[in-house]
Homo-oligomer: A and B are copies of this chain.
Amino acid sequence: MTTDLPSRLLLGPGPSNVHESVLAACAQPLVGHLDPAFLAVLDEVQQNLRSLFGTRHPMTLPLSATGSAGMEACLVNLLEPGDRALIGVAGVFGVRMCEVAARAGADVTRIDSEPGTILDAAALAEAAARLRPKVVAFVHAETSTGVLQPVEEIARAAREAGALVVLDCVTSLAGVPLAIDDWGIDAVYSGTQKCLSCPPGLSPVSFSERALETVRARSRPVQSWYLDITLLAGYFGDDRTYHHTAPITAVLGLAQALRIVLAEGMEARAARHREAAESLITSLEPLGFTPLVAEAHRLPPLTSLRLPDSVHGFEGGEAGLRRRLLEAHGIEVGAGLGPLAGKIWRIGLMGENARKQSVERLTGALEQELG
């Protein structure tokens, strides 16, 4: 009676394919969200997330919603109406940060880069020094363009200007080494369906003590009861008191996915992501696909490629070829988003899929369709 779903190789911007042991973990019979047996799993998940984020922050936890809610949690906890926020925008997810911050009543200044390029660290540093914002926020791994943003210079300048630093690591966590504490990040969020190779549904987040002090010192409550980190601390801290019912199944899946990541080791895993992305670019070059992003700033888990004329000339254009890949080859690739829609594809080689076999299957399918 369960749904008969087709088999897919998921090479879009997420979700990625999930290891069968993670799927098996999601099929375990439930225990309660306050059961000591479950709380032990939660302890393990929080500890392993700290390890992957590169942080000692106690308030490191899987938020009970997807990555976009993680973004909202970071911004609405730290910002009050009238607070200044400086946001680096290098793509759709930077734009989303501006929108979320504005809805929290913040006075938002944005500094944009050209699509496919990194942010101008000097311009952000200058603006931070001039505006003295409460929050400086930007995206580490811009999923809409495939750019990996160098973090340290901007974060340092932001802290020197007295700001809290918020970082989007949705597509970098578990695919790229993170060092949140060394970089001086105060609030970070990610998702589970990218390099962690979990089902979507949770957002790993981490808040520094400095961030928590800021939340505790707010003049008015956090606008979101569900995302209020001071309330979440009751359940995700030492007390383990009820706030909302944790998504038990999703947490069990995440626990297993984290074990896989840590067993591989982050260094080996990052190398595997880099090698897969390099192999992708090399393999698709003969077909006319060219990288959008300069080599130094490419995000290994997600490669954005400009499309050759042969793709635009396919029946139904690039969307027609994506449909054909899905229907005839069982391969999902991602469309361009925002200003890059119709111009690029976003090919994710994330987590379980960051392997040569993924590249070979995609290359073979494209050769067949375009050759």
Contact = CB atoms under 8 A, between A and B. Distances in A.
Interface of A: 1-3, 5-8, 10, 12, 14-15, 17-18, 21, 23-33, 35-38, 41, 64-69, 72, 76, 96, 99-100, 102-104, 191, 193, 199-201, 221-226, 242-250, 252-253, 255-256, 259, 326, 332, 337
Contact of A103 (B103, B201, B221, B250): B221
Contact of A256 (B1, B7, B242, B259): B1
Q: Nearest 7 pairs between A and B by C-beta? A: A201-B247, A199-B249, A27-B27, A65-B65, A68-B244, A23-B27, A200-B245
- Chain A interface, >50% SS class: loop
B245 A191 contact: yes
Contact of A26 (B26, B96, B99, B244): B26
B226 A65 contact: yes
Given A201-B201, A248-B15, A224 B29 contact: no
A103 B30 contact: no
A222 to B, nearest CB: 7
A69 B226 contact: yes
B200 A246 contact: yes
Contacts of A30: 8, 10, 15, 17-18, 193, 199
Contacts of A36: 326
Contacts of A225: 68, 72, 96, 99-100, 103
A72 B24 contact: no
Contacts of A243: 68
So how many copies of this chain end up in the complex? 2
A15 B32 contact: yes
Given A224-B103, A250-B201, A29 B1 contact: no
A311 to B, nearest CB: 19
A17 B242 CA distance: 19
Nearest to A70: B226
A32 B10 contact: yes
A332 B225 CA distance: 27
A27 B24 contact: yes
B2 A21 contact: yes
Nearest to A3: B41
A111 to B, nearest CB: 21
A23 B246 CA distance: 17
Contact of A28 (B5, B28, B191, B246): B5
Nearest to A256: B2
Most buried by B among A193, A225, A255: A225
